[in-house]
Amino acid sequence: MWCESDQIIARVLAFLQEKSPFRRAFLALSGGRDSTVLLHLLATYGDEFPLTALHVDHALHPRSADWVEHCRVLCDHLGVAFESRRVQVNHGAGESLEAAARSARYAVLADFLGPDDVLMTAHHADDQLETLLYRLVRGTGGRGLAGIRAERSLGPGRLLRPMLAVEGEALAHYAERHHLSWLEDPSNEQARFDRNYLRHQILPRLKKRWPAAAALAAGTARHLAEEAELLESLAGEDRRTAASGGGLSVAALHGMRAARRHNLLRYWIRDQAGEFPSSAGLARLDREVLQARVDAQPELLLAGLRLRRHGGRIYCVPEAPASRSVPAQKDDREWKDLSAPLALPGNGELLLESTASGGLDVSKFRGPPTVCYRQGGEQYHDGRHHRRLKEWMRLAEIPPEQRDWLPILRDGERIVAAGENLLDPSYAAENGLFGYRIVWRKAPA
């Protein structure tokens, strides 16, 4: 007989079929009820892909080693490969323990992924409602109210949440029907954590009064996510217009209406820092950096970055660049597949975006391009003469603290580009012909 458990199975498998193909699948397994349900479902009914369960031990509870063993035994029983990693959670001033643990967890999980791999988490519709309420009371914009995304990039792979449309009560019925057992983390009951307060004190009352609250909130989040995609697309167009020497042109920003300028800056900072700035932070950026005197060089700490104005441009600079080692020659990477981003360990990624005219003509490379960092003494050809790369960086007003991190694109030993700047005109697409723009997505500090 068709039942609620069958609906969950069908919904999850349909979601994964829509997102396929992928090479390998990983599941973030905490050992709690939700991830245990997803593990059982995939192990029992999802036979289309190899599955590995990943458990991250945050070492925040004296019994955390027992939880690792519980997950290992569970996976052995279901015939699923299992990996665990232990992390140390450090959180600074202004950051909650929950947020620090989440950041540490996803950093470890991302390390398992390669291109065409996916990581699945067991977030569900009640988590979506909880997230919307949490962000609403803390203050957020439309992107924040779009809630948890069903899919996003994670490292070189993708993060999928196949149960995001399933309510927690349905998962409880599935677990009961299949006689599943799971771990209960005592910290999940502590009301001093904001999310636990919402989960145990607010959501039950809300759903008792409005039983469809989770489903309706999920629908609202989907609508806002679509609107956020449009805003992100608009920010991408404006970024291409305002891009200047690895930063953004102050003159171009001044030429935009405030709402459009803030939209561009919001996504630009997100790409550098991994998080959106607050509205108050954007207001300070307007006032203290963009409106500063022409001869000033103001700085502002925002979203973990130093925003610096220099030479008619603003730059994002990691808040503590000295704590990161300068990339070494051994980090040279061959860019074999130009249709896919090239990951730069500790330094973001490079990718190519098509442009209607001009840009880079990739057909002129004699072999796969390589990406390296400066070692000193490099020269490039500007079409007439050989020039020192160091002098170009000075004239291009690349901040000194960014110069050792600027990825250099080469064809053999010949320097073609630095960062997003094409230096050798012999590699440019002919006028009116299709080409590519180089995009450097920097890593957060």
Check whether residue 29 and residue 167 sit in a common domain.
yes
Structural element, H or E, at residue 13: helix 4-19
pLDDT for the residue numbered 421: 87
Check whether residue 342 and residue 278 sit in a common domain.
no
Final residue belonging to a domain, choices 298, 319, 340? 319
33 marked ligand binding residue: yes
Check whether residue 148 and residue 256 sit in a common domain.
no
Render pLDDT for 395-428 as a digit per residue (tens, 0 to 9): 877 777 678 888 999 998 899 999 888 899 999 9
Check whether residue 257 and residue 375 sit in a common domain.
no
Pairing of strands 370-372, 333-334: antiparallel
Check whether residue 186 and residue 38 sit in a common domain.
yes
Check whether residue 299 and residue 347 sit in a common domain.
no
Check whether residue 171 and residue 75 sit in a common domain.
yes
Check whether residue 315 and residue 357 sit in a common domain.
no
Rounded to whole angstroms, how far apart are CA atoms 295 and 370?
38
Check whether residue 22 and residue 144 sit in a common domain.
yes
The mean predicted confidence, pLDDT, of the chain is 84
pLDDT for the residue numbered 347: 80
Q: What is the pTM of this model?
A: 0.60
pLDDT for the residue numbered 243: 86
In contact, 150 and 161? CB cutoff 8 Å: yes
pLDDT for the residue numbered 318: 53
CATH number at residue 280: 1.20.59.20
Final residue belonging to a domain, choices 319, 353, 375? 319
The yes-or-no verdict on residue 319 having pLDDT over 70 is no
143 marked ligand binding residue: no
CATH number at residue 55: 3.40.50.620
Check whether residue 155 and residue 270 sit in a common domain.
no
Structural element, H or E, at residue 437: strand 435-441
| Residue 244 placed within a domain | no
* DSSP calls for 303-368: TTEEEEEETTEEEEEES-GGGSPPPPGGG-EE---TTS-EE-TTS-EEEEEEESSSSB-GGG-SS-
Look up the domain containing 416 and give its range: 329-441
Check whether residue 154 and residue 275 sit in a common domain.
no
pLDDT for the residue numbered 93: 46
The yes-or-no verdict on residue 294 having pLDDT over 80 is no
35 marked ligand binding residue: yes
Q: Which of these, 35, 74, 75, 86, lies nearest to 52 by C-alpha position?
A: 75
Render pLDDT for 173-213 as a digit per residue (tens, 0 to 9): 999 999 999 988 766 655 566 778 888 888 889 888 988 88
CA distances from 260 to 199, 229, 233, 234 (A): 36, 15, 12, 9
30 marked ligand binding residue: yes
Percent of the chain past pLDDT 90, that is, above it, reads 30
Our count of domains for the chain comes to 3
Check whether residue 87 and residue 106 sit in a common domain.
yes
Rounded to whole angstroms, how far apart are CA atoms 88 and 382?
49
Residue 277 — pLDDT band, cuts 50, 70, 90?
A: confident
Final residue belonging to a domain, choices 319, 352, 378? 319
Rounded to whole angstroms, how far apart are CA atoms 127 and 218?
10
Mean pLDDT throughout 20-24? 87
